[in-house]
């Protein structure tokens, strides 16, 4: 599940079940992935890019946590300016399941 924490509309922040295969998003909430509709969905590689981009903006505060088993980011949060309300954003990823296909 991917959940976004921000001052945004409910459709954007509601938890989403994401299926990814070979770093390609296959579906979101059991609906085929559409980049126009699902703009906020991140693969593992996208998470690293997002974090690098966030750090390059010199945030006032940030947190990045990694999955203990797999080493990828499973939670991150950026507050770019402590004096501005509602520009903070955070991502949380839960329920990861690895399926190896042969």
The tens digit of pLDDT for each residue in 55-87 reads 999 999 999 999 999 999 999 999 999 999 889
Q: Give the Cα separation of 102 and 84 in Å (integer).
A: 50
Return the exposure string of 70-86: e unless at least 16 CB atoms fall within 10 Å of the residue's CB, then b.
eeebbbbbbeeeeeeee
Domain hosting residue 53, numbered range: 2-93
Phi-psi region of 58 (alpha: psi -120 to 50; beta: other; left: phi over 0): left
The answer, yes or no, to whether residue 101 has pLDDT greater than 70, is no
In this structure, is residue 100 part of a structural domain? no
Q: Give the Cα separation of 81 and 60 in Å (integer).
A: 5
In this structure, is residue 98 part of a structural domain? no
Tally the domains of the chain: 1
Q: Give the Cα separation of 97 and 57 in Å (integer).
A: 32
Q: Give the Cα separation of 98 and 89 in Å (integer).
A: 27
**What pTM does this model have?**
0.88
In this prediction, residue 4 has a pLDDT band, given cuts at 50, 70 and 90, of very high
In this structure, is residue 26 part of a structural domain? yes
In this structure, is residue 99 part of a structural domain? no
CB–CB of 65/78 below 8 Å?
no
């Amino acid at each position: 599940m991917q959940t976004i924490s921000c001052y945004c509309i409910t459709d954007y922040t509601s938890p989403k079940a994401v299926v990814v295969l070979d770093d390609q998003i296959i579906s979101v909430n059991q609906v085929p992935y559409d980049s126009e509709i699902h703009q906020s969905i991140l693969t593992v590689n996208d998470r690293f890019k997002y974090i690098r981009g966030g750090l390059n903006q010199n945030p006032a505060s940030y947190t990045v946590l990694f999955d203990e088993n797999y080493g990828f980011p499973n939670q991150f949060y950026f507050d770019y300016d402590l004096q501005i309300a509602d520009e903070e954003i955070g991502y949380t990823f839960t329920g990861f399941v690895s399926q190896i296909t042969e």
